[in-house]
Amino acid sequence: MKLPPYADLLGATLEWDEGLPVLAMPFSDAVLGRPGFVQGGAITGLLEVAAIAALRHQLAAEGGGRIKPINVTVDFMRGGRQRVTRAAGIVTRLGTRIANVEASAWQEDRARPIASARMNYLIVRG
Amino acid sequence: MGIETALAGIAGMDKVRFGGHGGRLGIGYHAHGDGWVELALPYSEEMIGDEDSGVIASGPIFALMDIATSLATMRKLGRFVAHATLDLRVDYLRPAKPGHVVVGHGESFAIKRSIAFVRGHAHDGDPNDPIAHVSGTFMFLEDVSADLAKGASA
């Protein structure tokens, strides 16, 4: 799976965990918000790249299609510290035109997320 | 102009550090007023999220609106207070046109003791044809009761 230029801007790379895509973003000045913390927009950007990666992965099995974002709602639970942030998406429903996706971001412990998001996407089947 | 212009005349500016993610995205100042701030996000191929269309990813628009609504809250409060985004929702009404500057308008419409309620919208040239609409909340990491007593709240 090829990531878009925006993933490079974030410094994010693709990892696989049990056959599912996980995005990893090291801490850098490019993602810094208030001193010592990752900016919420960078965390959200990572969540959105992870959500689209999960959706693209599942969609590929059904012949692919184009993905257009409709909206995102993000809850920030903990500050993102100066270390690697990871994010993964879960497709809760993939319909013919709409996909509902959830994504979460964590640092050391996946069970202690720093942020979680709910997204809706419009699917244009190929 | 740098985004610090949006906070001109605000106490505690020395505590604010600009640059970081907003700087990496090239976010700059556009305009401001009482309780609102407008920032500009220039187009860059580095922000592309869909290589077929050249449309930028939604993440930079989220970052633009997070920063614009955050600065709008400081503007309304009249001084810098440490705060964190609690939640933010963005509706992406349509894709931003490739090559266009995106202008994000953030406003803080209610400030309470612990929480600021914000909203905003973004456009890529025509304010009557928005590309995004946002609403969210920030939590204050310090007590702002004294500021509210002085009339910072609407």
User: Taking the domains of chain A in order of start, what are their residue ranges?
Assistant: 5-125
Q: Are B74 and B10 in contact (CB under 8 A)?
A: yes
Rounded mean pLDDT, B69-83? 93
Rounded mean pLDDT, A4-8? 96
The pLDDT value recorded for residue A19 is: 92
Cα of A113 to nearest chain B Cα, Å: 14
The pLDDT value recorded for residue B121 is: 98
pLDDT in tens, A64-87: 999 999 999 999 999 999 999 999
- In the structure encoding, which two tokens stand for residue A85, read together? 């942030």
Candidate from B57, B86, B87 with C-beta closest to A48: B57
The pTM (predicted TM-score) of the whole model is 0.95
pLDDT in tens, A30-72: 999 988 999 999 999 999 999 999 999 999 999 999 999 999 9
Rounded mean pLDDT, B98-125? 97
Write the CA distances from B87 to A10, A41, B21, B22, integer angstroms: 21, 11, 18, 18
In A64-93, the residues whose Cβ lies within 8 Å of chain B are 66, 68-76, 79
Q: Which residues of A touch B57 (CB under 8 A)?
A: 4, 6, 45, 48-49
Candidate from A4, A39, A74 with C-beta closest to B49: A4
Q: Is B86 on the interface with A (CB under 8 A)?
A: yes
What residue type is assigned to position A14 of the chain?
L
Cα distance between residue A39 and residue A85, in whole Å:
12
Q: Is A11 on the interface with B (CB under 8 A)?
A: no
Can you give the CATH number for the domain in which B39 is found?
Answer: 3.10.129.10
Count up the domains in chain B and report the number.
1
Q: Which residues of A touch B49 (CB under 8 A)?
A: 4, 6, 48-49, 52
Candidate from B63, B82, B91 with C-beta closest to A39: B63
Indicate if the pLDDT at residue B152 is higher than 70: no
Cα of B142 to nearest chain A Cα, Å: 15
Q: Which residues of A touch B47 (CB under 8 A)?
A: 5-6, 9
Indicate if the pLDDT at residue B154 is higher than 50: no
Q: Is residue B154 part of a domain?
A: no
Candidate from B59, B64, B90 with C-beta closest to A6: B59
Q: Which residues of B touch A115 (CB under 8 A)?
A: none
Indicate if the pLDDT at residue B153 is higher than 60: no
pLDDT in tens, B21-37: 999 999 999 999 989 99
Q: Is B15 on the interface with A (CB under 8 A)?
A: no
Tell me the CATH number of domain A5-125, given options 3.40.1080.10, 3.40.50.2000, 3.10.129.10, 3.90.850.10.
Answer: 3.10.129.10
Q: B15 lies in which domain range? A: 3-149
> Angle A40-60/B59-77 helices, nearest 10 degrees?
160
- Model-level ipTM above the cut of 0.90: yes
Candidate from A42, A52, A74 with C-beta closest to B88: A74
CB-based contacts of A121: which residues, under 8 Å, 6+ apart?
A51, A52, A55, A67, A68, A69, A70, A98, A99, A101
First CA to last CA across chain A, in angstroms?
A: 17
Confidence of residue B10 (pLDDT cuts 50, 70, 90): confident
Contact call for B88 and A40, based on CB within 8 A? yes
